[in-house]
């Protein structure tokens, strides 16, 4: 079943009643949703009140809860720890004992997948990308020559123009990218926890202050999908900004059908299979990751 995405941007009181997440606005019940149907709960308004019982129920059903800041951008994520998987301790030990060759090989696959998606995005926007295609086969285990960064410089210039600068603190297009990335990151973190993997133990990202390093690793090939949606939206928006329409467009990525192992399934479902594949690779049961492929309209 496709899990629902609930985005609450107004003052509300959220509580639990008979395993239903009930949402009240100005003292009136406006929605009642089974907790088991929820995949993502996004809380945007500073005056939203949520009971502890409701939050615990979300965690027990592996619902990722996203808290937004004053700019309505995702700021933090609440994920279950003790019930993510029945074999959490064993899987955590495997994560901590991953060999360096395995770590480097998996990061190589992630970087190659990201560059391939960047090339596809450029082609979908009418730009040629022979440089990125040539770079694909040059990525070595661990990406010691940092082809990821080299590809990014070429990619952003082609996609957004020579004047664009990726700035996480800026508004406009940058704010839209921040929002899309944060939502994608939250969903992948949810999938990782569901397999028993700890999202803080990354393959490449290792910032001690980052609790979602592994989610940041795994989401790299999906960033270009966000870039494409932002590019298309910004072409017809003046000014491009985080609003109801742009958020709906980016959130739609999570339920959009993708191709994986000759099957079509929603990205939110495919992300669980990708996380399971990563767990298998970390445990040494497989070597290669199988990434979902976006189904383009044309």
Condensed to tens digits (0 to 9), the pLDDT of residues 228-251 reads 999 999 998 888 898 989 999 999
User: Is 3.100.10.20 the CATH number for 4-78?
Assistant: yes
Can you tell me the distance from the alpha carbon of 43 to that of 41, in angstroms, rounded to the nearest whole number?
Answer: 7
> CA dist 244 to 186, 228, 257, Å?
19, 18, 22
Q: For residue 151, how many C-alpha atoms fall within 13 Å in the half-sphere facing its CB?
A: 30
Over residues 184-193, the mean pLDDT reads 88
Strands 293-294 and 257-260: antiparallel
22 contacts: CB under 8 Å, gap ≥ 6: 14, 15, 16, 29, 31, 32
Q: Which of 106-115, 165-174, 189-198, 226-235 has the lowest mean pLDDT?
A: 189-198
In the predicted model, is pLDDT for residue 252 greater than 80? yes
> CA dist 217 to 5, 31, 79, 238, Å?
23, 36, 17, 33
Q: Which of 50, 228, 234, 104 is nearest to 155 (CA)?
A: 228
Provide the pLDDT confidence category of residue 80 given band limits of 50, 70 and 90: confident
Residue 31: beta bridge partners? Answer: 23
Radius of gyration of the chain (CA): 19
What pLDDT score does 209 carry? 64
Q: What interhelical angle do 100-124 and 223-234 show, nearest 10?
A: 20
Over residues 22-43, the mean pLDDT reads 92
What pLDDT score does 206 carry? 81
Over residues 145-170, the mean pLDDT reads 92
Can you tell me the distance from the alpha carbon of 295 to that of 298, in angstroms, rounded to the nearest whole number?
Answer: 9
The answer to whether residues 89 and 196 touch, using CB atoms and an 8 Å cutoff, is: no
Can you tell me the distance from the alpha carbon of 282 to that of 109, in angstroms, rounded to the nearest whole number?
Answer: 13
Provide the pLDDT confidence category of residue 221 given band limits of 50, 70 and 90: very high
The answer to whether residues 222 and 184 touch, using CB atoms and an 8 Å cutoff, is: yes
Over residues 59-87, the mean pLDDT reads 75
Asked whether the whole model's pTM tops 0.75, one would answer yes
Domain boundaries, the chain: 4-78, 88-294
The answer to whether residues 279 and 292 touch, using CB atoms and an 8 Å cutoff, is: no
Q: Given 3.40.50.970, 1.20.1730.10, 3.40.50.9100, 1.20.120.920, which CATH number is that of 88-294? A: 1.20.120.920
152 contacts: CB under 8 Å, gap ≥ 6: 118
Give the three-class secondary structure for 25: strand
């Amino acid at each position: 079943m496709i899990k629902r995405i609930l985005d609450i941007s107004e003052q509300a009181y959220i509580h639990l009643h008979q395993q239903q997440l009930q949402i009240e606005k100005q003292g009136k019940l406006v929605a009642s949703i089974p907790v088991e149907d929820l995949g993502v709960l996004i809380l945007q308004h500073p005056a939203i009140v949520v009971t502890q019982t409701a939050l615990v129920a979300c965690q027990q059903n592996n619902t990722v809860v996203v808290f937004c800041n004053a700019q309505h951008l995702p700021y933090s994520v609440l994920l279950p720890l003790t019930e993510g998987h029945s074999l959490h301790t064993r899987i955590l030990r495997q994560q901590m004992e991953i060999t360096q060759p395995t770590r480097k090989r998996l990061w190589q696959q992630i970087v190659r997948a990201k560059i391939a998606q960047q090339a596809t995005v450029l082609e979908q926007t009418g730009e040629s990308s022979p440089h990125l295609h040539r770079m694909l086969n040059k990525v070595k285990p661990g990406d010691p020559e940092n082809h990821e960064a080299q590809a990014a410089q070429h990619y952003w210039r082609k996609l957004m123009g020579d004047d664009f600068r990726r700035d996480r603190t800026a508004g406009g297009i940058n704010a839209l990218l921040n929002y899309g990335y944060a939502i994608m990151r939250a969903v992948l973190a949810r999938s990782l926890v569901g397999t028993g993997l700890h999202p803080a133990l990354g393959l490449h990202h290792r910032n001690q202050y980052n609790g979602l390093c592994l989610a940041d690793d795994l989401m790299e090939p999906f960033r270009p999908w966000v870039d494409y949606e932002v590019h298309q939206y910004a072409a017809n928006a003046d000014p491009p900004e985080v609003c109801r329409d742009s958020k709906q467009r980016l959130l739609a990525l999570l339920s959009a059908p993708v191709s994986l192992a000759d099957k079509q399934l929603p990205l939110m479902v495919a992300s669980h299979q990708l996380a399971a594949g990563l767990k298998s690779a970390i445990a040494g049961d497989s070597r290669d990751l199988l990434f979902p492929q976006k189904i383009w309209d044309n």
